[in-house]
Amino acid sequence: MNLEEAEKKMQKAIEATKTSFNTIRTGRANASLLDRIMVEYYGTPTQLKSLANIGTPDASTITIQPYDKSSLSLIEKAIYTSDVGLTPNNDGSIVRLNIPPLTSERRQEMVKLAAKLAEEGKVSIRNIRRDAVDSVRKQEKNSNISKDESRDLQDNIQKKTDKYIAQIDELLAAKDKDITTV
């Protein structure tokens, strides 16, 4: 693994962390809250966003308008059984989700969840660093690169690691602010 490969993998870890953060409720309606919901559609687990138009008409409502009206009850069931914690209202053509304001206790739970997801992202980046450093050490052991080159590469890998971990910390701070802002 070279430095460019390691950096690409670290960027992917940042993107994965951002995606994970999008699934955390902040008290405002956000269509990405439903990204993980899978609907059993004709015997096949299908992403909700593939089956319906999802919109946010106001700050406290998400509307789900299925392309196929016969899938309304399936969508409603999938939302009920998911971990989103929202109750769907079906009016026969649209499913509405009312986003209740978060209590301070629930906000603290969301902050803890965000911190856990951020830590998972950091662990991923550290694992990439470990693999890259092992690769450099192996090259040095096989006499493919000198000790000085090895040390320089390891320093560069560490600098990249520090940079991406700082980015995750920034993302976490922004998400915490988003969650705790009423």
Condensed to tens digits (0 to 9), the pLDDT of residues 44-68 reads 888 888 888 888 888 788 888 888 8
- The answer on pLDDT for 79 being more than 90 is no
- CA–CA distance, 84 with 52 (Å, rounded to integer): 17
- CA–CA distance, 182 with 24 (Å, rounded to integer): 15
CB 34 within 8 A of CB 64: yes
Going from the N-terminus, what domains does the chain have, and what CATH number goes with each?
A: 3-22+103-180 (1.10.132.20), 31-98 (3.30.1360.40)
- The answer on pLDDT for 4 being more than 90 is no
1 exposed, middle or buried (CB, 10 Å; 0-12, 13-18, 19+)? Answer: middle
- Specify the higher pLDDT residue, 179 or 134: 134
- CA–CA distance, 81 with 90 (Å, rounded to integer): 15
Confidence of residue 127 (pLDDT cuts 50, 70, 90): very high
- What sign does the dihedral 14-19-25-29 (CA atoms) show? positive
Question: How does the average pLDDT of the chain come out, rounded?
Answer: 87
Q: Count CB atoms within 10 A of the CB of residue 3.
A: 15
